[in-house]
């Protein structure tokens, strides 16, 4: 069974999208290792320790925090793909996609996210589709 | 499809309604008119002719000076009060900016609200703002944050020589946000939260007669998935927890307390009529609950005042300018439901915190409704509609069933601690999203009428990027320039009172006046009450 790390990069507690995506991935047969709000070092060590096949990041904050996590993952767990969702404005999406991260902004279909997870956890993947991107609508405090 | 239409909460609806659909039992409530129990038709007799709804938008980001600038901007646009949003990394968690959890995400700091270290930052934000005249929510949406936020604001007033009795505003300390919708990494347990909220309420009863101490925010439950009946039921189940615990203290009777608890918040989404019905049912439920459960005869003590935030979850990332239309529709429903104050979620909500322009639009939507449409002329203008009355009545019945279920769980806090409420919200959240995925519910731009969105309409507000660096500087300055002995003494006194049955608000006021920081107060709370263990393992 493929193992997916799911983590929130920020301390902002909006859970709706993260929970929906996690449930959909579990329903699709993935083993989801939910880290919740996790620091970069925790995400990296869990990815290594759990021998994860994919890392899913819920982005609720700045892209720089995500990029630092990507840098650390590249060193510690090279080759483990990353996908992301959350409140990801278009300019952040472009920056993450440039790093090879598939991005699913609010409104993305869960079936697309699940399809991406299947593709990303099965060896060489076909060229990233240009389809609409990733997580269900956000909520606000 | 026309044969099996349902409201958002699943109430079957017919193609047309007539007189027989309005239960006879509601006639008395309708005839009472606005301003009279059970208030179905409005909280006040004159409604918007005598008291226009307050335009009340969330705002805040970056450094204290950034927040001040945005607040002044909104006041210039015609906002009727100010809401101070604080950085969630620090405020929601009661962490100082040098806490390791914050340092690990330092770039995030200031993204979702202004970074506030202590009372000096409040002074910066409020400089030049006549707080004795302005209705304010000074922050503290999350339960453990509220004492600090309120104390800072009130201390600024005291330093300006303003009598606290003059101040008008509202706290929040919402259980739905804290323990259901936006669960933080560290949070004091709900029973400790209940104690804090009740301390705030008693402090306000004694010192701030014009202040709404806490505001139960059904919004946060509803946007986490709770249906309209569940939102109604859980709001009042929370209120019952407050009233019972306060009455047990023996200092005030329920009729002296109910007005302080009866300023609440609901979510209005895109199911136009159901949400209008919800606000009308809410007023009646509160009035009936207070009369039947607590024997409160005084009508004035049973009057519910409602703030609405339009649903952020109804706004789309795709074609974001469409959200201006959605905001207008939801604002209209809120007004037709008889709100006292209203915040329209900004059109860029799904992308970023609001840009100045998005904020301005949310204010303008409300001003257009107030000045151009005439809908403020008549109280409860839809009252008597066969459909709306049938729906109001049905929602109320379903909400009481849900209320009884919560009582069966041992009350709101038990239902929270056991995870019952979370499971209920999560189940419906999944169902709702499945409806969209299966195209049973259409959302323009998401599952129908999609377009190629390059280039994208807007790029999202970026805010300021130096908030953490600036805050680290201010923190060092506070620590080096304050009277360290006074700060330590204030913290010891706070801890002593937290461990007693005294009211924490006096010591929190003393602490912030001695330049005690957010994180230091959090340290005391964590030491005394420990951490809540969320009942769900997502």
Q: How far is B87 from chain A (nearest CA, A)?
A: 9
To the nearest whole Å, the CA of B115 is away from the closest chain A CA by: 14
Cβ of residue A130 closer than 8 Å to a chain B Cβ: no
> Cβ contact (<8 Å) for B429 and A20?
yes
Pair of tokens at residue A61: 């904050």
pLDDT of B111 > 80? The answer is yes
Q: What is the 3-state secondary structure (H, E, C) of B462-475?
A: CCCCCHHHHHHHHH
Report residue B535's pLDDT band, with 50, 70 and 90 as the boundaries. confident
CB contact under 8 A, B223 and A139: yes
Q: Please give the distance of CA A104 from its chain centroid, rounded to a whole number.
A: 9
Structure confidence at residue B164 (pLDDT): 98
Our CA-based measurement puts residue B32 at a distance from the nearest CA of chain A, in whole angstroms, of 35
Task: Please report the domains of chain A, with CATH numbers, ordered by start residue.
Answer: 3-121 (3.40.50.280)
A15 contacts in chain B (CB < 8 Å): 181-183, 224, 538
Q: What percent of chain B has pLDDT over 70?
A: 99
Burial (CB count within 10 angstroms: exposed 0-12, middle 13-18, buried 19+), residue B88 = buried
pLDDT tens digits for B464-474? 999 999 999 99
Please answer yes or no on whether B182 and A15 come within 8 Å at the CB atom: yes
Q: How many CA atoms lie within 13 A of B247 on its CB side?
A: 15
Residue B484 is encoded by which pair of tokens? 């360290």
| Per-residue model confidence as pLDDT tens for chain A (141 residues) | 899 999 999 998 888 889 999 999 999 999 999 999 999 999 999 999 999 999 999 998 999 999 999 999 999 999 999 999 998 998 999 999 999 999 999 999 999 999 999 999 984 344 444 444 444 444 443
Q: Give yes or no for A26 touching B (CB within 8 A).
A: no
Alpha helices in chain A (DSSP H): 16-27, 40-49, 63-76, 90-98, 110-120
Q: Does A39 touch chain B (CB under 8 A)?
A: yes
- At B486 the pLDDT is 98
The pLDDT, as a whole number, for residue B520 is: 98
B358 φ, ψ (degrees, to nearest 5) = -65, -40
The Cα-based distances of B173 to A141, B124, B179 in angstroms read 12, 23, 11
Return the percentage of chain B with pLDDT > 90, whole number: 95
Residue window 50-79, chain A: list those with CB within 8 Å of chain B: 60-62, 64-65
Residue among B180, B265, B326, B350 with most chain A CBs within 10 A, to mutate: B350
Disruptive mutation site among B60, B176, B351 for chain A (greatest number of A CBs within 10 Å): B351
Residue of chain B nearest A111, judged by CA positions: B437
Q: How far is A24 from chain B (nearest CA, A)?
A: 9
Question: Under an 8 A CB cutoff, do A89 and B351 touch?
Answer: yes
A106 touches chain B (CB under 8 A): yes
Contact call for residues B70 and B491 (beta carbons, < 8 A):
no
Any CB–CB contact under 8 A between A94 and chain B? no
The predicted pLDDT at position A130 comes to 41
**CA-based nearest residue to B370, from B81, B137, B35, B80:** B80
Chain A residues whose beta carbon lies within 8 Å of the beta carbon of residue B443 = 107
Residue of A nearest to B450 (CA): A132
When pLDDT is cut at 50, 70 and 90, the band that residue B1 belongs to is very low
Across the interface, whether the CB atoms of B318 and A107 are under 8 A apart is answered: yes
Query: Which residue of B104, B141, B349 is in closest CB contact with A138?
Result: B349
Return the pLDDT at B313: 93
B58, B184, B445: residue with CB nearest A13 = B184
Give residue B135's pLDDT. Answer: 98
Chain A residues inside the 8 Å CB shell of B345: 140
pLDDT confidence band for B74 (50 / 70 / 90): very high
Q: Report the gap between the CA of B459 and the closest CA in chain A (Å).
A: 6
Structure tokens at B380: 């409860």
Residues A108 and A83 sit within 8 Å (Cβ to Cβ):
no
Whether the pLDDT of residue B317 is over 50: the answer is yes
pLDDT, averaged across chain B:
96
CA distance B502 to chain A (A): 30
- Do A107 and B316 lie within an 8 Å CB cutoff? yes
What are the residues whose beta carbons fall under 8 Å from the beta carbon of B356, sequence distance 6 or more? B70, B73
Angular region, B10: left φ>0, alpha ψ -120 to 50, beta rest: left
**Binary contact (B437, A109; C-beta < 8 A):** yes
SS (H, E, C) A114-129: HHHHHHHCCCCCCCCC
Q: Tell me if A34 and B181 make a contact (CB, 8 A cut-off).
A: no
Nearest CA in chain B to A106: B317
- Residue by residue, DSSP assigns B135-162 as -EE-S--SGGGHHHHHHHHHHHHHHTT-
The H or E element spanning position A55 is: strand A54-59
The count of CB pairs under 8 A between chains A and B is 150
pLDDT at B538: 52
Q: pLDDT, tens digit, for every residue of B195-250?
A: 999 999 999 999 999 999 999 999 999 999 999 999 999 999 999 999 999 999 99
Instruction: Measure the CA–CA gap between B184 and B177, rounded to whole angstroms.
Output: 9
- pLDDT of B289 above 60: yes
Q: Report whether pLDDT(B2) > 70.
A: no
DSSP letters of B18-53? -GGGS-GGGHHHHHH-TTSTT-TT-SSSSHHHHSPP
A18, A45, A138, A139, best to mutate vs chain B, most B CBs in 10 Å = A139
Rg (CA), chain A: 13
Q: In terms of Cα–Cα distance, which of B385, B406, B275 is closest to B335?
A: B275
pLDDT computed for residue B136 by the predictor: 98
Q: Which of B24-38, B69-83, B274-288, B454-468 has the lowest mean pLDDT?
A: B454-468
CA distance B504 to B516: 15
* pLDDT of res. A13: 80
Calpha distance B363→B353 (Å, rounded): 16
> Which pLDDT score is estimated for B454?
75
CA A48 remoteness from chain centre = 16
Residue B129 has pLDDT above 80, yes or no: yes
Contacts with B488 (C-beta within 8 Å, 6 or more apart), sequence order: none
If pLDDT is split at 50, 70 and 90, which confidence band does B457 have? confident
- With beta carbons under 8 A apart, name residues in chain A contacting B102: 11
Cβ separation of A20 and B111 shorter than 8 Å? no
Close Cβ partners of B26 (under 8 Å, ≥ 6 residues apart): B40, B389, B392, B393
What is the tens place of the pLDDT at every residue in B324-373? 999 999 999 999 999 999 999 999 999 989 999 999 999 999 999 999 99
Residue B448 to residue B439: CA distance in whole angstroms = 8
Question: Residue A133: which residues within 8 A CB-CB, separation 6 or more?
Answer: A93, A103, A104, A105, A108
Cα gap B138→B214, rounded to integer Å: 12
B18–chain A nearest CA distance, Å: 37
**A22 interfaces chain B, CB cutoff of 8 Å:** yes
Query: What is the spatial distance between Cα A52 and Cα A4, in angstroms, rounded to a whole number?
Result: 6
Contact B100, B121 (CB under 8 A): no
> Mind telling me how many Å the CA of B299 is from chain A's nearest CA?
32
Q: Which residue in chain A has the smallest CA separation from B351? A: A89
């Amino acid at each position: 069974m493929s193992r997916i790390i799911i983590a929130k990069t920020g301390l902002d507690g909006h859970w709706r999208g993260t929970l929906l995506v996690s449930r959909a991935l579990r329903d699709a047969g993935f083993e989801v290792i939910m880290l919740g709000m996790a620091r970069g070092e925790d995400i990296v060590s869990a990815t290594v320790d759990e021998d994860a096949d994919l890392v899913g990041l819920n982005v609720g904050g700045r892209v720089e925090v995500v990029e630092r996590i990507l840098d650390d993952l590249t060193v510690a767990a090279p080759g483990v793909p990353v996908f992301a969702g959350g409140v990801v404005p278009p300019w952040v999406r472009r920056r993450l996609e440039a790093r090879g991260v598939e991005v699913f902004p609010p409104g993305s279909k869960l079936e697309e996210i699940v399809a991406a997870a299947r593709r990303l956890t099965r060896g060489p993947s076909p060229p990233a589709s240009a389809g609409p991107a990733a997580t269900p609508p956000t909520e606000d405090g | 499809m026309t044969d099996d239409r349902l409201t958002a909460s699943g109430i079957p609806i017919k193609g047309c309604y007539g007189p027989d659909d309005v239960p006879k039992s509601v006639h008395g409530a309708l005839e009472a008119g606005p301003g009279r129990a059970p208030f179905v038709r409005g909280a006040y007799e004159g409604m918007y002719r005598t008291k226009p709804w307050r335009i009340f938008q969330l705002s805040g980001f970056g450094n204290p000076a950034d927040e001040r600038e945005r607040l002044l901007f909104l006041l210039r646009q015609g906002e009727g009060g100010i809401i101070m949003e604080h950085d969630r990394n620090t405020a929601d968690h009661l962490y100082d900016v040098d806490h390791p959890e914050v340092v690990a995400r330092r770039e995030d700091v200031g993204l979702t609200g202004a970074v506030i270290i202590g009372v000096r930052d409040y002074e910066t934000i409020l400089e030049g703002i006549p707080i004795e005249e302005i209705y304010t929510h000074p922050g503290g949406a999350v339960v453990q944050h509220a004492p600090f936020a309120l104390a800072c604001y009130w201390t600024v007033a005291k330093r300006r020589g303003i009598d606290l009795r003059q101040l008008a505003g509202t706290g929040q300390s919402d259980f739905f946000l804290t323990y259901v919708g936006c669960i933080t990494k560290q949070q004091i347990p709900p029973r400790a939260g209940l104690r804090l909220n009740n301390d705030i309420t008693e402090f306000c009863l004694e010192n701030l007669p014009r202040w709404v101490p806490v505001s139960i925010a059904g919004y946060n439950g509803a946007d986490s998935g709770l249906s309209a009946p569940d939102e109604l039921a859980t709001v009042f189940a929370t209120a019952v927890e407050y009233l019972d615990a306060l009455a047990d203290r023996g200092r005030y009777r329920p009729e002296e307390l109910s007005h302080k608890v009866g300023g609440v918040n609901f979510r209005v989404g895109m199911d136009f009529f159901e949400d209008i019905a919800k606000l009308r049912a809410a007023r009646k439920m509160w009035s009936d609950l207070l009369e039947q459960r607590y024997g409160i005869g005084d009508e004035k003590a049973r009057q519910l005042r409602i703030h609405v935030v339009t649903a952020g979850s109804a706004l789309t990332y795709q074609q974001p300018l469409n959200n201006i239309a959605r905001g207008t529709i939801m604002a209209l429903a809120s007004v037709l439901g008889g709100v006292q104050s209203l915040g329209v979620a900004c059109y860029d909500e799904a992308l970023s915190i609001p840009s100045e322009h998005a904020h301005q639009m949310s204010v303008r939507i409300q001003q257009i409704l107030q000045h151009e449409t005439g809908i403020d002329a008549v109280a409860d203008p839809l009252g008597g509609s066969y459909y709306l009355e049938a729906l109001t009545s049905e929602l109320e019945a379903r909400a009481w069933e849900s209320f009884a279920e919560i009582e069966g769980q041992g009350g709101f806090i038990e239902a929270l601690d056991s995870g019952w409420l979370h499971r209920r919200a999560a189940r419906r959240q999944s169902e709702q999203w499945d409806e969209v995925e299966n195209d049973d519910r259409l959302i323009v731009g998401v599952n129908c009428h999609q377009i190629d969105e390059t280039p994208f309409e807007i790029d999202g507000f970026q805010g300021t990027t130096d908030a953490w660096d600036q805050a680290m500087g201010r923190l060092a300055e506070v620590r080096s320039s304050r009277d360290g002995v006074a700060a330590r003494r204030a913290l010891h006194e706070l801890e002593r009172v937290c461990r007693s049955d005294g009211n924490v608000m006096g010591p929190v006021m003393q602490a912030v006046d001695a330049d005690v920081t957010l994180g230091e107060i959090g340290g005391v709370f964590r030491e005394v009450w420990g951490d809540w263990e969320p009942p769900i393992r997502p």
